[in-house]
Structures are given as structure tokens and as C-alpha cells.
Structure 1
Amino acid sequence: MEFDLGRNLSAPAPGIVPIADSRSYTVTLAALWIPIFIAISLLWYGRLESPLAHVPLVSTGKSSFWDIGHKKAKESFAANARKIVAKGFQQVGNTKPFRVISDLGEMLVLPPSMADQVRNIDALSHGEFMKESTCAEVHGFEPFFESTGHSLLADMTKTKLMGSLKQLTDPVNETATQACKDLFPDDDDWHEVVLKDILLEIIARMSSTIFLGDEEVRHDKAWLRLTKEYTVDSFLAAHQLRTYPQFLWPVLAMLFPQARKVRDQLRQAEAIIRPLIERRRAEKAAALADPSIKLPERYDSIEWLEQTSQDRKIPYAPVAMQLTLALSAIHTTTDLITTTMYELLRCPEVIRHLRKEVVSVMGSGGIKHSALYNLKLMDSVIKEAQRIKPALSINMVRKATANITLPDGFRIPKGTMLGVSHHGAWDSAVFPEADKFDAFRFVRLREQPGNENRWQLTTLRSEHIAFGHGLHACPGRFLAANEIKIALCHLLMKFEWKVAGEVKPRIIENGIFLDSDPGVRVLVRRRKGEVEV
């Protein structure tokens, strides 16, 4: 900054400030620096006086006095969360909580042994955690608000979607059949593909069939592109905003290119979905006015959301909700089927066992809803892949909306961000040889008397919290399980697979998120299936 002290002849030499001006200059500096010093002092004092001061803080080794916003600590956690959490449990023991400076701010990490204690506490809000961590109240992030600001999505899933899984099996299977025809060459030669890209397209199409029913827009390339891209772009934009104070988010979202891109995607979604919603509502209004008009029975989320919204008297934004469904289902399901396929590529003998199971269970009747339950080895394979590489290394994420005292006397202050570590699923004392992929692990567990239904893919247990546990467990896990099983039947029965080269899939770590490697290339060719799926 340059200070112009005047250019007249009577002015002092450059660099010399007059006495009167010097006092003014000093006052000005004081006015500038005293508030800054107070703010720094308060921030530092607040750091020392954390409401969680009674809980050990595990250092990342990256913070310093001047790192007021914990920027270095947050960056370190984003890159090394699993190592930092493992370090924490080494320090405090496997049954005690500790706190870390995560990329979301200060966070309480609970051991798996505490999962049952906190799973059903109303004052531990999953919605409030997600609302803050996804910038849900900033324009452009409305789809996140639709999943955190009210219970409509969970209500619809539990009351409508769950009861319609049987009716959805045929259309989802038909979509998978068509996707395989469109996406894979129809010859006997080996072809190289990026596996995750192919799987993402298949799952996006299957999910679009469920969410949009028989509407033509479910095939719209622009819509499918949005459902795949919005999730990634919105997470990147939210991550960028979270590095700044929350009160600045609305302003910065108007400036940052990534956040502007998200808003533009929302506008594109409006242009595609809004006419469909308005047409459906007009049809209903016409049918109410004229009883002779008969509307078709529909099994899709458009209809379920309208019904649930009216029944529960919950207003919502239909277009944003469709993107909510996409970001809630498509990438997580794709990640799980990708992880499963990576494990199968390492164990080709398991693929042979799975094909035999499909032939035995499906017979000549093709894929039926009732048969999916009997694919017990496939269920075990998916659950084992999920055990080894879940979507989150810390799950059951919550924000305390009140002061809580657990039965053992442990205090959780209001405002605490917390989660439960997934590492119980990697503990050989819980799962023997936990570091190894065992395709039959959960088949054997289900064969034990009394355990027939306790170790299914969709079963919730504190030892395996990949789908969450308790009050806020993933309500769409049954749909995801069915989608993955249907897709695997097509992929394994119709094609042969092998890894292209010696590339070992990596786990992409971004804070508590664990993503399957997006770049693994595989070889695929057609095969003649023993049964028609």
C-alpha cells in the first residue's frame, strides 16, 4: 500500500512523517490491528476452551499457532484421515473416543464399541451434520437441503419405494439388458474399457428408470450426464467453500467457478424436469375435475414424492429432489459395485462360483425379485467388498443439537460434530484375517444357527457400519442391493473379464470419504451365458 504524503515544497522529505500525521498514522494502525489482535486472541482462546477439552486431541503434526483456521491440519486430515484415526486409537485405546481437526472442523471420533450407544439418540442429528458439511443452505446446493432440511426423502423411501421393489425388478432388469447391449461390443474379441466409467453409466440408467419411471426423459443424455456430474461437482464446490468461514459461503458461491457451475447444472435440471412435473400435476388436476379420466398406476419417485409430500404436508422442490435422489444413490451404488468387481478380478475362481449360483437360483426363469434374496454367495461377496473398502472410514456422522450424557457418563456438548470409526470391520478379532478378501465369509456366518438373517448385505450391525446403524441408517440400501445384484448377473453371465496389465486398484482418500479407483482399465469380451438374464 502506498501513502501519498503530499507533493508540495513544504512537505517533509519522502519517508519522513510529520508529528501530527505520525499520531494519526499510529491511531489508524491501532484501529486496524487491535480488532485483528482481539480476533486472533479470541480464536486462540476458543481453541483452548473447546467444549470437548475433556477429550484427547490427536494432533496431525501440521498445525501451528498462526494456523488460525487449522488450514494445514484440515489439509492433512483430508489426505491422511485413516492414518490419523488409526494413530488416535493407538494413543487412547480401541474403546475410547478422541477428537481430531478434520476437513470439516473439530470432530469427535467414537470407537465402534460406542455405535450402539449413539445410534438412536434424537439429539444426534444426521441432517444437521450434512447440512453444514454440504453447504446445503447456499444457492446451488438445494439438492442437499432436500435431503437434510426435512424428512421427505426418508419417508418416501420407507413408505413407497420399499414396498415397490418387486414391481421395479422387471423394468430395472430390462434397463440393464439394454445398457449392456449399448455399452459393450457384440463380438468375441477382447476390448479395453475403463471399468468404473462403464459401471457408472449402467447404474445411472438403472436408477433413472426407478426415479423417473416410464418417462422418456430417463433416456435423455443431458439428464443422465447431470445425474453423474452434479454429485462430483457439488462435492468439490462444497469442499472449496468449507475452507472459509460459513458466513462468507453465500458470497463466495457467487464468485467461485466451481460453485457457479453447480448453479448452472441446477438450472439445466430445472429445464429438463420442470415440464414433466407440471404435466403430471396438470393430468392429476384434470382427473380430479373429470372422473372419467383414468390415470395409469405409476411406480416412480415422481409419484411417490408427490403423494408423500401431500400425506405428510411437507413442501419440497421437485427438481432439486430428483438431483438429491441421483446424488444419494448413483455414485454410492457405483462405488460399491466397482469395489466388488475389483475384488472379483483378483479372484477369478469366485466368479465361477457366482455363475454357478446364478444358474442354480435363476434357472430358466430369468431374474425375479424373489430370486435375488437367494443369491447368498453374491450377497456375501458384495458385503465383504464393502467391509474392506466402505464409502466412509467414519460413518454414523451426526451433529449434537443438545448436550448429551451417555449411560457411561461420557458428555457430548451441543454443537459437536461426531462419527463412529469403521475400523471394527478391519479388526481380525472381529473378522478373522480381516485384511483378506473372503468371498464366503458371510455365507459361513449365515449358516450358523440363529444367524440366518443377521449377516445379510442390508443387515445393520455395529461391527459393520458401512450402511450406517440405527436411526439414520441408509434407507435406500435395499434398492442398492437389488440394483447391484441385477447388474452383476448381467456382467458375470454375459461377459468375461480380466485386468489390463498389472495395475492394482487404489483407494482414493478424501477426508472420511473412500472412493474406488476411477482409472482402472480392464479387458472384457462377450460370452454365452448358461441362462438368460
Structure 2
Amino acid sequence: MSSLTSLAGFYPPTDTQAKQFLAAFVALFAVVLAHSVWSSRTGKLPPAINPPKLYDLTGGSTKDDFLRRSYEMVHGPSGEGPDRPYTVYSDVGPVILLPPKFAEEIKNNPKLNFLRNSEEDFHGSIPGFETFRADLSGQILVQVAKKQLTKFLNKITKPLSEETAFSLQTILGDSPEWKEFSLPTVNLSLVARLSSLVFLGQKLCRNDDWLKITSQLPVDLFYAAYKLRMYPKLLRPLVHWFLPECQRIRSELAQARSIITPVIKQRQAEKRKALEEGLPVPTYDDAIDWAEEESKRIKYEPATFQVGLSVAAIHTTTDLLSQTILELLTHPELIQPLRDEAVEVLRIHGWTKAGLYNLKLMDSILKETQRVKPIQMISMQRIADAEVRLSDGTVIPKGSKCAVANTSRLDGGLYEDPQKFDGYRFVKMRNDPGKENMAQFVTTGVNSLGFGHGSHACPGRFFAANEVKVALCHLLLKYDLELAEGALSEVTSYGFNLNYNPASRIRVRRRKEEIAIDSL
């Protein structure tokens, strides 16, 4: 009711006409609420684990209950989740959760739309959230990641190392004395710099204004999306104008445009001048040019696209790097073997594709980290463009949402002692005949859903893996690290998300690296 009161404040009840208008608005509000709730309960969905109560017209109580008990709803008492499809009423509406065995069955089904699901969950049609539009994400961003970014990986490893060296010097310094830092702040700053190097080049990756925007806006976007979901869907096109969180992301997006637009105009001028003078047209080999190449006449806004890249790359990679460091500091016996491996591999291969591939213990630790704490408890989120009937007879109605529960990661039949973090788990799996490929961090499968699976598996995972490996080599060889006194590393759940402790703090001091990795 407080939201209604704040909206009503725009119509002071001082005359009859205003009072009548407000009364009509209240009536419309009630009708919309009822329509929203009841429409979400229609359709032949599988049995619900948390069906909404009849009196919960806004759906607010159901959403709050889900946000608090989501882990239990997804994993069940055994931790491995139910063995048949069921419905969860979540903050994004009812979602049909499928056991992991269905991942292979739905992975490439053209009737199940990944991009529409993302657009709906993150309000892509509402000002400020344009980065989640299906056309922008699908036909440009995904193609840039699949085709251009992956092709660029061989060229970027050495520059990533150089930028990591510069960034860590800036962020952590060279003091041999212990200093305390916020782990999320350190990693967000580092990943923002490294990602921006690839997406925009060295000049902008060191632009403080851009780094501030590209670090903060993805966080604010996710929070604003969450706040807006608390309102019935039919009211969101109105409510977003009044929510401070939505106002903030529109302001930040405007700042992003003010930084990117001059760069675009300068490049356009340079290309025009080259054409006029009969000279070769300059190329820049970064995401600005890649987007132009992949847009294929789709109208898009470069700043919005760059924010989309930041959302896709920075948030998830920061989460992975932070959780990996927390696991290493909780299991410090892994740090020296990682250092030894890095020294041996880099001496032989340097900063090359072969070098990163042969960091097999590091690769195993990354995969084990993602197994123990993926960024979400679910994967392969989709909206059905048409009715889909699964092999067990389950029907996914047209317009409904579905996802695969990422619970096989805790299956004792697949993993020995699955609740235990074992950094060598996937190193050992690589030695099993026929399992070498599946044991690699970037490989997806029914039992490895951290990056999704099938045609919509995360296209940027190869870049993310390289980026994190380069960062870890520099961090571990150049610094001693430990958890700050009283720091907690436990994982919490909220909605479908699994979160490391955002208050995590570490102590860092400079050490003498065994190999001069800056000059490799």
C-alpha cells in the first residue's frame, strides 16, 4: 500500500476531479492486481511446490516466501532436487523446474526461447533495461561473443597479462606489509579493467569514469530488475518511472552514452577521412567494431550494447574469481601447488593458448568452484514459444517458463563426497579414459550446467576462463593472501542466486614471484 500512497501523492485530493481520478486509479489498480495474479495461475502447469494463496492478490507473500526458501524449494531434503518436473512460483513468476536429466532433451529445442526469457525477466521493453532486449542480445551480443571474441582469444592473452600487472599495481600496490582489502571491490575493479581492455581498448579501460559506470551499472541493473519484479507485470510500465532504482540506471546509462558516443563519432570521422583521401579504412579490432559488423542493419545503440557486454561478462566473472579465491584461502594447501604449476607451465609456454590449457590444476579448481557454488541454482532458462511435450509426458504450455535445476552437481552417484571441495577432482577425472574433455572447465553437459548447455551455453565462457586464469597467476605469484580476521566465506541463497559473502575481506602483501611473468 505504501507504493500506492507514493503514487497517489502526485494527485492532491483538493478538487472533485482529482479525487474521482484517484478513485478510478485505485479501482484499476485492484483489477490489474487480480488479473495479474489469476492469469499467472492459469495453464496446465506441473504441480506447484509453493502454490500462491487465494488471498495473496499481489503475489508479494508468495515471492517473499520463495526468496527466503528458494534453496529448499530447488534442492529438496536430499539436496539433489525432485526427480520429476514441478512448478515453483518465484520472483519472475511460475517456473517449471526440470530435473537435470532433461537438459539434453531441451538443449536445442527451437520452441524453447532463451532470449525472450531474459528479456521478460529483466524488463527489456522498459526504458533503462534496453540491454536485455532480445534482438540486441540475440543477434548482436551473442554473435560478437561466439564469433569475434572467441576468434580474438589467441591475440589477447599477452595484453591481458600486461593489463593485469598494471591493474594489480594500481589496486593492491607493492607493499611487503599486510594490507586489508574488500575482496568484491578488488575483483570487480580488476575484472572491469580486463574486460574493458578487450571490449574498448586500453584508453577506455583506464578511464576512471567508464570503469565506475561499467562496474556499478550491472549491479544496479540487477537490483532495479528485482525491485520492479515485486510489482504486478501490468503495472511495471508505469511504476518504473517512480522507482529510484530505475531512475538511477537511466541516469547511469546516460553517463555511459556520454563516454562512448564521442569515441564512436571520432572513429566515424577517421573512417570518412580515410575514404576521402583514398587511404585504408582504419580498423580497431574491439567490440565497438565487432558490434557494427554483426549488427546486420539492426538498429542498436552502442552504449547500451557495451553495457550489455559488461552485464554479461563482469558480474559473472567477478563472482567466479571471488569465490575461487575464497575457496583457496579456505584450503590454503592448494596455493603452493598452483604456484608451482604456473611457474612450470609459463616457463615452457609463456602467455599462449597452450600455456593456459596446461594449467590443469587451476582449471580443475575453477570447475570445482563452479560445481560447489554456481552463480545460480538453475540453468537453461527458457520461455515456450509453443507447447512442448517432454519424453515423460510433461507438458510445458505455450508462454510458460522452464529451467533445469542445477542439482546434479551434488549427486553422490556422480561425485564422491559431493559436499566436499576437492581441488583435484577434475584433474583426476582427466585421467579417466573418455572423460578428459568433460573434465575441462569450459565443457558443458547434463552434469555440468554452470555455463548452461546446448546452443545457448554461455558463449563468453572461453574468454572468462582465460581472463580468470591470467588474473590468478598474477595474484598467486605476486602476493600472499589470507582471509581477514573474522571474515566469513559462507555461501547464501536469495531467489535462484547463490551468493558469496559480499562483505568478504582479505589481507594481501607483496611477495617475490618465482618467475618474471611481466616480461614473458
How high is the TM-score relative to the length of structure 2?
A: 0.90
How is 1:322-337 mapped onto 2 (pairs within 5 angstroms)? 322-337=306-321
Distance 1:293 1:271, change over 3 A: same
CA distance in 2: counterparts of 1:38 and 1:205, whole angstroms: 48
Return the match for 1:220 from 199, 207, 231.
207
The aligned amino acid for 1:136 is: G
The aligned amino acid for 1:409 is: G
1:79 and 2:106 correspond = no
Which residue is equivalent to 1:287?
274
Aligned-pair identity in percent equals 36
How is 1:150-169 mapped onto 2 (pairs within 5 angstroms)? 150-169=138-157
Which residue is equivalent to 1:422?
406
Return the match for 1:241 from 214, 223, 228.
228
The runs of 5 or more residues in structure 2 that have no matched partner are 1-23
CA distance in 2: counterparts of 1:396 and 1:252, whole angstroms: 29
State the Cα distance separating 1:257 from its structure 2 match.
1.0
How is 1:198-213 mapped onto 2 (pairs within 5 angstroms)? 198-213=186-201
Aligned with 1:517: secondary structure?
Answer: coil
1:68 and 2:61 correspond = no
Cα deviation digits, residues 287-319 of structure 1 (max 9, x gap): 233322452x4321111111122xx33332111
How is 1:372-391 mapped onto 2 (pairs within 5 angstroms)? 372-391=356-375
State the Cα distance separating 1:128 from its structure 2 match.
0.9
Distance 1:147 1:198, change over 3 A: farther
Which residue is equivalent to 2:292?
306
CA distance in 1: counterparts of 2:235 and 2:31, whole angstroms: 20
How is 1:345-364 mapped onto 2 (pairs within 5 angstroms)? 345-363=329-347
State the Cα distance separating 1:243 from its structure 2 match.
1.6
Which residue is equivalent to 1:123?
111
Which residue is equivalent to 1:478?
462
1:56 and 2:47 correspond = yes
State the Cα distance separating 1:89 from its structure 2 match.
8.0
8 Å CA contact 1:109, 1:420 repeated in 2: yes
Which residue is equivalent to 2:85?
97
The aligned amino acid for 1:322 is: Q
CA distance in 2: counterparts of 1:469 and 1:184, whole angstroms: 37
CA distance in 1: counterparts of 2:301 and 2:259, whole angstroms: 14
Which residue is equivalent to 1:255?
242
RMSD (Å), alpha carbons: 2.4
CA distance in 2: counterparts of 1:211 and 1:320, whole angstroms: 13
Which residue is equivalent to 1:25?
none
Distance 1:441 1:350, change over 3 A: same
Distance 1:453 1:365, change over 3 A: closer
Aligned with 1:174: secondary structure?
Answer: helix
The aligned amino acid for 2:153 is: L
Distance 1:126 1:36, change over 3 A: closer
1:140 and 2:128 correspond = yes
1:438 and 2:422 correspond = yes
Distance 1:458 1:32, change over 3 A: closer
Which residue is equivalent to 2:163?
175
The aligned amino acid for 1:109 is: L
CA distance in 2: counterparts of 1:228 and 1:510, whole angstroms: 21
State the Cα distance separating 1:36 from its structure 2 match.
9.1
State the Cα distance separating 1:407 from its structure 2 match.
3.3
Aligned with 2:175: secondary structure?
Answer: coil
CA distance in 1: counterparts of 2:25 and 2:181, whole angstroms: 59
CA distance in 1: counterparts of 2:234 and 2:39, whole angstroms: 18
CA distance in 1: counterparts of 2:26 and 2:259, whole angstroms: 52
Which has the larger displacement, 128-137 or 286-295?
286-295
The runs of 5 or more residues in structure 1 that have no matched partner are 1-30
State the Cα distance separating 1:366 from its structure 2 match.
4.0
1:188 and 2:180 correspond = no
1:276 and 2:260 correspond = no
8 Å CA contact 1:366, 1:532 repeated in 2: no
CA distance in 2: counterparts of 1:507 and 1:234, whole angstroms: 22
Distance 1:88 1:291, change over 3 A: farther
Return the match for 2:485 from 494, 501, 504.
501
CA distance in 2: counterparts of 1:59 and 1:314, whole angstroms: 42
Which residue is equivalent to 1:23?
none
Cα deviation digits, residues 226-263 of structure 1 (max 9, x gap): 11111111111111111222232222221111111110
The aligned amino acid for 1:289 is: E
State the Cα distance separating 1:503 from its structure 2 match.
3.0
Which residue is equivalent to 1:6?
none
Which has the larger displacement, 356-365 or 328-337?
356-365
CA distance in 1: counterparts of 2:420 and 2:300, whole angstroms: 45
How is 1:443-454 mapped onto 2 (pairs within 5 angstroms)? 443-454=427-438
Aligned with 1:522: secondary structure?
Answer: strand
8 Å CA contact 2:60, 2:230 repeated in 1: yes
Distance 1:510 1:147, change over 3 A: farther
Cα deviation digits, residues 458-504 of structure 1 (max 9, x gap): 00111010100112110000000000000000000000111112433
The aligned amino acid for 1:425 is: R
Cα deviation digits, residues 497-527 of structure 1 (max 9, x gap): 1111243313242211122211111111111
Which has the larger displacement, 238-247 or 256-265?
238-247
1:529 and 2:509 correspond = no
CA distance in 2: counterparts of 1:506 and 1:450, whole angstroms: 35
